[in-house]
Amino acid sequence: MDSQIAKKIQSLSTAEEMRNQTKLVMQPYANWEEYLTPAPLSIAILGELVFISSIEDFSINKNPPKDGYQYIKYPDSFRACLMQVCNSGWWAFNEAHKNMDQIRLHTMAVPDYMKTAVKILFQDNDEVVKAHLPDQLENIRVIADDCLVLANSTEKRFTDVINIIQELLEACVNAQFFYGEELDTIKKKIDEAKLRKQSAEEAAIRSEKAMKTMEEQLKETQENYKKAMDSLPSGWGMIGMDFVAGLS
């Protein structure tokens, strides 16, 4: 009975129809450009992070969580956090490269198993089908399980990178808020210092003007004193004046 069903299916399904059906089934997974394009861009961004991390360093450990950070290892150094992202990203891409190569090697055997399975299905002997088909399907299942383990391992690596980046972003936003408050406080202190400086400069100008005025007044007083002293008669002058007064 099973062999008759297989023959009917074979007569109804041509190779072209099977290829078209396979295309329809695999279409959602066939847009490889969309999946592969972000990889070079991500690697370029990692390079930019390495460059940025070499410029300036500061702490993002402002008001940390009560239980501490789960993924960030060095919150006191933004440079170290960027290097952690870069290193974790490198390991993720490296493992993805190795695991994808392993998946490629595993899946290379699947077409042969599928061909063998199809040949077995089209046998007229049901006993042969029952005896040999499960082995071929088991081989495909083992390969699928191995590929699933490799894919999950790769996904976990990239999930770890995403978690680090998300926690780093949260810490940066939090630090930006507190640094903003500190910056406002510093700006207020700078403004106060500028006002004090301006007041001191104005006071110094007033003092300088007052000193000049006092110097001018002192100089004028000294000149008047000198003139007064010069206008006084000397000792012989006083005697002459007394003699003239006595004659008169």
Give the range of the structural domain holding residue 227, as residue numbers without chain letter: 197-247
Do 160 and 62 fall within a single domain? yes
Asked if residue 237 belongs to a domain, the reply is: yes
Side-chain half-sphere exposure of 17, counting CA atoms within 13 A = 6
User: pLDDT by residue (tens digit) across 16-40?
Assistant: 665 666 666 656 655 655 666 677 7
Percent pLDDT > 90 in the chain is 20
- Among 2-16, 159-173, 197-211, top mean pLDDT goes to 159-173
Do 181 and 201 fall within a single domain? no
Per DSSP, the residues of 98-129 read HHHHHHHHHHTTHHHHHHHHHHHHT-S-HHHH
Give 164's pLDDT tier (boundaries 50, 70, 90).
Answer: very high
State the Cα angle at 101 between 155 and 114, rounded to 5°.
100
Nearest to 93, CA basis, from 36, 33, 31, 29 = 36
Residue 209 burial by Cβ neighbours in a 10 Å radius (0-12, 13-18, 19+)? exposed
Give 225's pLDDT tier (boundaries 50, 70, 90).
Answer: low
Q: Which two tokens stand for residue 125?
A: 């002997």
Q: Which two tokens stand for residue 140?
A: 């495909």
Residue 83: the pLDDT is: 87
- Among 152-161, 197-206, 214-223, top mean pLDDT goes to 152-161
Asked if residue 42 belongs to a domain, the reply is: yes
Do 133 and 233 fall within a single domain? no
Asked if residue 217 belongs to a domain, the reply is: yes
Taking residues 57-68, report their average pLDDT: 84
Do 86 and 157 fall within a single domain? yes
For the chain, the domain total comes to 2
Asked if residue 192 belongs to a domain, the reply is: no
Residue 15 phi, psi dihedral angles, 5° rounding: -65, -40
pLDDT over threshold 80, residue 173: yes
Do 54 and 164 fall within a single domain? yes
Whole-number Å distance between alpha carbons of 105 and 193: 71
Asked if residue 190 belongs to a domain, the reply is: no
Do 133 and 238 fall within a single domain? no
User: pLDDT by residue (tens digit) across 93-152?
Assistant: 899 989 999 999 998 998 898 888 888 888 778 888 888 888 989 999 999 999 999 999
Final residue of a structural domain among 137, 158, 185: 185
pLDDT over threshold 50, residue 12: no
Do 207 and 88 fall within a single domain? no
Asked if residue 137 belongs to a domain, the reply is: yes
Residue 153 CB partners (closer than 8 Å, separation 6+):
95, 99
Asked if residue 178 belongs to a domain, the reply is: yes
